[in-house]
A and B are shown apart, each in its own frame.
Chain A
Amino acid sequence: MKNYLKLLNFEVNRFFKLYLTLIGLIIVSQFIGAIVVSKGYMNVTDQVINKNQLSVSQYIKEYGLFSFEQFVGSEWFVLPILFSIAMLMIYVFFIWYRDWFGKNTFIYRLLMLPTERITIYFAKLTTIMLLVLGLVTLQILLIPIEIKIVTSIIPTDFRSDFSSSHFDSLEMLVWLYPNAFIEFILIYGVGLILVAVLFTAILIERSYGLKGIFFAIVYGMLSFGVFIAPILLNVFSNDYFYALEIFLMLLVMSIIVLGSAIWIANHLLKYKIRV
């Protein structure tokens, strides 16, 4: 357990500098966006009001209030999120391959540590989850600040009230920030399983070289197949099962998929891995 924590901390440290730049990028882009979008809105309203001499209430009746969702939907807000997701997806692979390639052979050191080699797998898996949840947390913390920025630029009578949760405006955000905690656990649980399966696929490739890629793909599809088997089963038995039963079966399947991913990874790291 102690080795797991040390390895976890070590992996986090390795990515920390890049992580800080990512966080910096998100903050800068979203803050600038908040200013730009709000200022842009105000300029437009001033022009329209002056041009056709409208009163504020007439303008509002005609063009409606500024809602925070207009900022959330803007590219300033969305692009850094997409960029971070892409970066993390790449790092899911890079977190392993960097140990093999590059000037050094750090994988030797990792595999020669006096600890179960599966600890390396768990440490890297937890690192990815920490990085993902870290950005999820960042966004939750940034929203109130961005609201302050917007409210400082757009006077109250031009904007709707910003109280309700802002994560249900964009399809993508509804997935990243479900409104029930149980849904949060399920979604990020599936995310964890996806990363675990990807890790095992990487280890398969690392253990069997060229034909390893083929094995890895087959393994990935197999895991996906097993995971959605209950849904297929239900379709072929034309809806024989109730939603709750399907859900329970999916739960069992996901535990099987996760369990097998870990078991295979453990077996590979112990007996089949090649440096």
Chain B
Amino acid sequence: MIEVKNVEKKYGRKRVLKGLSFTAEKGEITCLIGINGVGKTTIMKAIMALTPINSGEILIDGKKIRKESFEKVTFIPDTITMLPQMKICDAFSFMADFYKNWDPQRAEELLQFFKLDPTERIANLSKGNMAKVNMILGLALNVDYLLMDEPFSGIDIFSREQIAEVFTSHLIEDRGVIITTHEISDIEHLIDRAVLIDNGEVLKEFSVEEVREKEGKSVVDVMREVYRG
């Protein structure tokens, strides 16, 4: 599992993460929920050591991040992490070149699923398609944990539906997924755990099904309580 233990982070004097802690289990979809600017993306970058933390600790399966971890964890930021002048097939061969557990068949599968042409240049892709290719770069990796930053935001409804389907597919099964979003409505029944975040702190961390079972509340109801309360 991924443990984030009272992580402090400051940009200059502004405290962005204030002793934030939560855990994400392997095999569960954990969703960080909070309005923009509360530090969701920062947490993800911190987990991937893409930005330093001032104090606190982040462990992946009990160990601090090191180069081998990048074969076990992957991060799909909100912009594509490949060069625009690359063709999709170039991007895939780049991934195959560097990652041992890059799965070309799965990449091929996803390409067909998303109905994308491998010889297309990334620069000429629509925002939706670019998000899909970006998604494939993560999904086609045989990793234990997948971090996705706002996978659905700002893309057309059809691409969104296609991406949502991925969450219900075998690609996600028994992998730890952390996604961030600021509007929960369209994926509420996809996630296992929810972590409500507000200006750098975790307000509430709960299992979505348990809350429905015990309190009969949806995630949105909990949010209304917590944020207004």
A contact residues, total (Cβ < 8 Å)? 26
Whether A6 and B97, one on each chain, are in contact in the complex, defined by CB atoms closer than 8 angstroms, is yes
Most chain B CB neighbours (cut-off 10 Å) among A3, A102, A114, A272: A114
Q: Are A106 and B81 in contact (CB under 8 A)?
A: yes
Contact A115 B67 (CB under 8 A): yes
Q: Which of B45, B67, B70, B94 contacts A275 (CB 8 A)?
A: B45
Question: What is the 8 Å Cβ interface bit string for chain B, positions 36-77, against chain A (1 contact, 0 not)?
Answer: 000000000100111110000000000000011111001101
Residue of B nearest to A209 (CB): B12
Whether, in the assembled complex, A271 has its beta carbon less than 8 Å from a beta carbon of chain B, the answer is yes
Known: A103-B84, A105-B81, A108-B50. A113 touches B98 (CB 8 A): yes
A116 to B12, CA, bound (A): 28
Report which residue of A104, A116, A209 has the largest number of chain B beta carbons within 10 angstroms of its beta carbon: A104
22 A-B pairs (CB sep. < 8 Å): A6-B98, A103-B84, A103-B123, A104-B83, A104-B122, A106-B81, A106-B83, A108-B50, A108-B77, A111-B49, A111-B50, A112-B81, A113-B70, A113-B99, A114-B68, A114-B71, A114-B99, A116-B67, A271-B52, A273-B52, A274-B50, A275-B50
- With A106-B83, A113-B99, A115-B98 known, 17 other A-B pairs at CB within 8 A are A6-B98, A104-B79, A104-B81, A104-B82, A104-B122, A105-B77, A105-B79, A105-B80, A105-B81, A106-B81, A108-B50, A114-B71, A114-B100, A117-B67, A273-B51, A274-B50, A275-B45
Instruction: With a 10 A CB-CB cut-off, give which of B75, B80, B83, B99 has the most chain A CB atoms.
Output: B83
Q: With both chains docked as a complex, state the minimum distance between the C-beta of B70 and any C-beta of chain A, in angstroms.
A: 4
**How far, in whole Å, are A111 and B75 apart by their CA atoms in the complex?**
11
Using Cβ atoms and an 8 Å threshold, which residues of chain A touch B97? 6
Q: Can you list the 8 inter-chain pairs with the closest CB atoms, starting with the nearest? A: A109-B81, A114-B70, A108-B81, A275-B50, A114-B71, A274-B51, A272-B52, A113-B98
Interface 0/1 of A1-39, CB less than 8 Å to B: 001001000100010000000000000000000000000
Cβ of A270 within 8 Å of any chain B Cβ, yes or no, is yes
**The residue from A106, A112, A207 contacting B74, defined by CB atoms under 8 A apart:** A112
A244 to B50, CA, bound (A): 46
- A93–B82 Cα distance when bound, in Å, is 20
Which B residues lie within 8 Å of A114 (CB)?
Answer: 67-71, 98-100
Q: Which of A240-275 contact B (CB under 8 A)?
A: 270-275
In the assembled complex, which residues on chain B have CB atoms less than 8 Å from the CB atom of A106? 81-83
Q: Which residues of A106-154 are within 8 A (CB) of B?
A: 106, 108-109, 111-117
Q: List, in ascending order, chain A residues with CB within 8 A of B71's CB.
A: 114
Residues of chain A contacted by B49 (CB below 8 angstroms) = 111, 270-271
B95 to A, closest residue via Cβ: A109
In the complex, chain A residues whose CB is within 8 Å of the CB of B48: 111-112
Q: Which residue of A lies closest to B91 (CB)?
A: A109
Judging by beta carbons under 8 Å apart, are A275 and B68 in contact?
A: no
A10 touches B94 (CB 8 A): yes
State A113–B68 Cα separation when bound (angstroms).
9
On chain B, the residues within 8 Å of A116 by CB distance are 67
Please give, as numbers and ranges, the residues of chain A lying within 8 Å of B79 by CB-CB distance.
Answer: 104-105
Q: Which residues of A contact B122 (CB under 8 A)?
A: 104
